[in-house]
Amino acid sequence: MARTAGSIGKETEKRVLKEALTLFAHHGYAAVSMRQIAGKCGIQAGALYNYFPTKQSILHGLMKSHMQNLLTALDVEQLHNNPTQALEAFAQFHIRYHIDKPEGVFVAYMELRNLEPEPYAEIMKLRQKYERFLRRILREGQASGDFEIDDVPVTTMAIISMMTGVNTWFRDGGRLSVEEIEKIYVNLVLSVVGLEPELLTPRLKEVT
């Protein structure tokens, strides 16, 4: 007990989470077995139960920490005096975070239906908190007259879907750098709310 306390155990737990995340993202939660996860970690299936009481708890833990990290990172970023700046910052943050953590994003989005009712409700609350953040920006911009928006709730979901979709096609080492993609998406988002993006980031035209 004294020999291993706080050393090997914590490392193994992290490793399990890391390997489970990759496996879930690639094959889906339901298609991945505890034996597979253990295999990737170099241990036997039974040892997993020292850290997680059920397979479900691994999924829940992954999704919860992903959403919490996302919200924490978002909070740190945000302090802007006008809606346009706030929207630009949000869009850039979203794209960067999603390109940076594609596996976490994928699992948090695709595996909702595999959560039991209670964990499901908890994760949905965190998702809604994130959505509310963008909705507030859009409402403020609509109220101030900066944005032209037909319907704020629909536009909120449309923008999030548009940006999250970056993970369906982006692969490292492609035609465009992360910075270029960020700029393109920020411009797309600004267009959606009726702004003229080229006036705000004139350098983009030269890049593409």
Partner DNA sequence: GTCTATAAGACGATAGAC
Partner DNA sequence: GTCTATCGTCTTATAGAC
Report which of 70, 92, 90, 80 is spatially closest to residue 179, judged by C-alpha positions: 92
Tally of CA atoms within 13 A in the half-sphere of 172 that contains its CB: 6
Q: Is 168 in the site for its own copies (CB under 8 A)?
A: yes
For tokens 């007990």, name the residue: 1
| Pair of tokens at residue 113 | 């239906």
Residue from 14, 45, 128, 153 touching DNA (CB under 7 A): that is 45
The pair of three-digit structure tokens given for residue 147, joined into one six-digit string: 């944005």
Q: Select the binding partner of residue 4 from DNA, its own copies, none (C-beta < 5 to 8 A, by kind).
A: DNA
Binding partner of residue 33 among DNA, its own copies, none, CB cut-off 5 to 8 Å per kind? DNA
Please give the radius of gyration of the chain, using alpha carbons only, rounded to the nearest integer.
20
The single residue listed with the structure tokens 């109220």 is 143
Chain residues in the site for its own copies (CB under 8 A) = 26-28, 30-31, 110, 113-114, 148, 150-151, 153-155, 157-166, 168-169, 175-176, 181, 183-185, 187-188, 191-194, 197-198, 204-205, 208
Chain residues in the site for DNA (CB under 7 A) = 4-5, 8-9, 12, 32-36, 38, 42-47, 49-50, 53-56
